[in-house]
Amino acid sequence: MTDPRERILARLKAAPKRPIPECPAWSAPTYGADERKAKFRAMLEASHADVHEVTAADWPDRLKAILAAKGVRSMLYAPDSAAGRQLAAGWTGDFALVPYDHPVEDMKEILVTGVDAALTTAEAAIAQTGSLVLWPSADEPRLMSLLPPIHVALVAEETLADSLAEILTAQNWAASMPTNAVLISGPSKTADIEQTLAYGVHGPKELIVLLLNAGDGR
Amino acid sequence: MAAEALKSDFGGKAHIALNDPKLRANFRRAMDGLMTKRAAQFADADEWNALRARGAAVRARALAQLPELLERLEARCQANGIQVHWAETTAEANAIVLGILQAAGAKRVIKGKSMVTEEMHLNAHLEAHGIAAVESDLGEYIIQLAGEAPSHIVMPCIHKNKVEIAELFADKIEGQAYTENVDELTAAARKALRGRFADADAGISGVNFAVAETGTLVLIENEGNGRLSTTLPPLHIAVTGIEKVLEKLEDVPPLLSLLPRSATGQPITTYVNMITSPRKAGEKDGPKAVHLVLLDNGRSRVYGDSELSDTLRCIRCAACMNHCPVYTRVGGHTYTFTYPGPIGKILTPQLEGLDCAGDQPHASTLCRACADVCPVQIPIPDLLVRLRTEAVHPSATAGVKGGGSAQSLSESLGWRGYTAMYGSPLIYRVVTRLMGLFGNWVPASAPMLKQWTSVRTKPKFAAKSLHQLAREKGFSHD
């Protein structure tokens, strides 16, 4: 018993055995179809995010207009994602599209200070807490939703679930956790100075959610 | 290490804190705000009761299987490519972290908020070996600039107001003009730290929950500094206490619904960051190596007692301190050690020993406010009483560090005399008569008596006892 691992485990195993308690019943809240979207919007907006309802056809133009109005000069995008391809096809925006197409080591400067915004997709959304579920990938890396001052997230309405508990179970996350999974519920914020809320302390200052309506234009 | 020389001086420090009106005002304002926001989150009593019962059971289940779950966590993490290290003491943990950094040639470290690394005094250890560790959580950054320790486990710089922070920034950040505007102060920190994130050779973070089932490290935060510290540098070292393990991924949602709501009254934190592996082939970012350091530092000893081990259920939300009538008046620095407030009063004496923090379990009125708000139902007041007992009559099984250190011959004789007096009518009568005759002659500063009278008026003895008066009135005791 020379190494700390053995000593720690030996002490823990020597402790008196205790019964494993049952988990009492508990369930996360559920919502009706209309209520769900309203709750999602209300929670996100309360967290200082902007929510825009868009369609599969019009979202690139809506995105252009929203970002141009904010004076954005360049936006990071994922050239190999479906959304990235749709956006880049025939791009004629007022600002430049910058592809995240190399490892971070090769484009750190651009990522850290060189772009004003980034577009990612979200796997799903959660009504209870107004959260986006991101599973960053090789195509859509982790830093996209973190370094640029504005994060735009495209999320399909049909992926909207009631709670994290529901999504975790329904999609059996435990069987296939990715390198990194993130829930995002608003722009970066802090209240460390006198409990006063301030946005954009280290992550994005703004979160813009494009909620892709289920039926095109309904 | 400086930490080993520390000894609690609650009475002395409380006296200073209570007479500091600025400190009192800073804490009062903050604690009132946090209590109001938490209450709004748990307005539905049924929901609160069901949720906390679930949260408590999830934590109790994990602890009941702690050794097996730690082995499963280790195996899953290793299968995912996360390297796992075990440390029995803070010195071992510091050496492990330093070793990993030196092997990678890392000189600059960016840190996400972590109370366990505060417990280790990691920054000082790294600095002594030529490695600069910069805190990136805004509150932690502020107190690092000020050269202070956190005074609250969630809001580390809660003891400072914006005037103090404005002065500090103007003094310590190059080119920063004096401003009390919170947005400008926050922007100054963002600007100052951006480059530190980009330059860092390694990121160090804590862990909120470590899921054994999947080998996933869950970190929650609002600022994005935690995500940056664990994503941008090529190396990530996560440090956690061995008690933070959960059995299953499905245990995360109920605790996630309790922790931020209890801590800051938010429905959820801005970011919930779940890390399961280092960067995989083809991925463009994320650390290429991830290490997990599991720190014991006395926790396995706490685990040995089935009552005291409830201490280990804690998810570090700080609701107990926000609602404590003692903490809210004296602030976190009064507690000397890393964990203040009610949870600190049961944890610190067990980790550091009753011989150096034995006064802390007494710094309580046992009002139960902490137990009422604890999201995992830790019976803090019961454990405070238990620790008071352990300090005088150590139980053979618990083995609390420094148990029995408050034993004193005079106190023990005093209690024995008290027992004898109440066990014999004759002695009782003699002693009460003597007290009636001479009690008022004994000065308040007499040995043994002065501990009581230092903060209280010495009682005045009546010339005749109640028994005597009753007998004179003709009452008979049978």
pLDDT for A217: 42
Given a cut of 70, whether residue B71 has pLDDT beyond it is yes
Q: Which superfamily does B2-123+202-300 belong to?
A: NagB/RpiA/CoA transferase-like (3.40.50.10420)
Contact (Cβ atoms closer than 8 angstroms) between residue B236 and residue B227 = no
* Topology adopted by domain A31-212: Rossmann fold (3.40.50)
Per residue in A166-198, pLDDT (tens digit) is 999 999 999 999 999 999 999 999 999 999 999
d(CA B95, CA B122): 9
Contact at CB, B284 and A20, closer than 8 angstroms? no
B264 three-state secondary structure = helix
Per residue in B454-463, pLDDT (tens digit) is 888 988 888 8
* Interface predicted TM-score of the whole assembly (ipTM), two decimals: 0.97
To test the contact with chain A by mutation, choose from B86, B186, B243, B305 the residue with the greatest count of A C-beta atoms within 10 A, namely: B186
Contact (Cβ atoms closer than 8 angstroms) between residue B158 and residue B23 = no
Given a cut of 70, whether residue B128 has pLDDT beyond it is yes
Token pair recorded at residue B293: 């350091």
Secondary structure E strands in A3-149: 50-54, 74-77, 96-99, 117-121, 124-126, 131-134
Contact at CB, B285 and A142, closer than 8 angstroms? yes
pLDDT for A215: 66
* Contact partners, residue A6, CB within 8 Å, separation at least 6: none
> Which own/partner contact pairs does B182-187 have at CB distance under 8 Å and 24+ positions apart?
B182/A193, B182/A194, B182/A196, B182/A198, B183/A198, B185/A193, B185/A198, B186/A190, B186/A193, B186/A198, B186/A200, B186/A201, B186/B138, B187/A200
CA distance B46 to chain A (A): 11
Contact at CB, A131 and B268, closer than 8 angstroms? yes
Contact (Cβ atoms closer than 8 angstroms) between residue A174 and residue A121 = no
Give me the residue spans of the domains in chain B.
2-123+202-300, 311-392, 413-472
Per residue in B162-208, pLDDT (tens digit) is 999 999 999 999 999 999 999 999 999 999 999 999 999 999 999 99
Q: Which of A169, A174, A201 sits opposite B189 (nearest CB)?
A: A201
d(CA B86, CA A119): 40
According to DSSP, the β-strands at A124-126 and A160-161 are parallel
Q: Give which of B186, B189, B167 is closest to B177, Cα–Cα.
A: B167
CB atoms within 10 A of CB B369: 22
Residue carrying structure tokens 């379990």:
B361
pLDDT for B1: 39
Contact (Cβ atoms closer than 8 angstroms) between residue B248 and residue B213 = yes
CB atoms within 10 A of CB B301: 20
Alpha carbon separation from B355 to A99, A171, B216, B343 (Å, rounded): 61, 52, 38, 18
pLDDT for B32: 96
Q: Which of A12, A187, A192 sits opposite B66 (nearest CB)?
A: A12
Assign residue B341 a region (left: φ > 0; alpha: ψ between -120 and 50; beta: otherwise): left
Contact at CB, B285 and A19, closer than 8 angstroms? no
Contact at CB, B267 and A129, closer than 8 angstroms? yes
Mean pLDDT, all residues of chain B: 95
Q: Which of A13, A165, A196 sits opposite B253 (nearest CB)?
A: A165
CA distance A204 to chain B (A): 8
Is B355 within 8 Å of chain A by CB? Answer: no
To test the contact with chain A by mutation, choose from B83, B157, B218, B270 the residue with the greatest count of A C-beta atoms within 10 A, namely: B270
Token pair recorded at residue A38: 């309203």
Contact at CB, B268 and A129, closer than 8 angstroms? yes
Give me the residue spans of the domains in chain A.
31-212
Q: Which of A25, A130, A179 sits opposite B279 (nearest CB)?
A: A179
Using a CB-CB cut-off of 8 Å, the residues of chain A touching B273 are 180, 182
Given a cut of 60, whether residue B270 has pLDDT beyond it is yes
pLDDT for B436: 87
Token pair recorded at residue A163: 């709670």
Given a cut of 60, whether residue B79 has pLDDT beyond it is yes
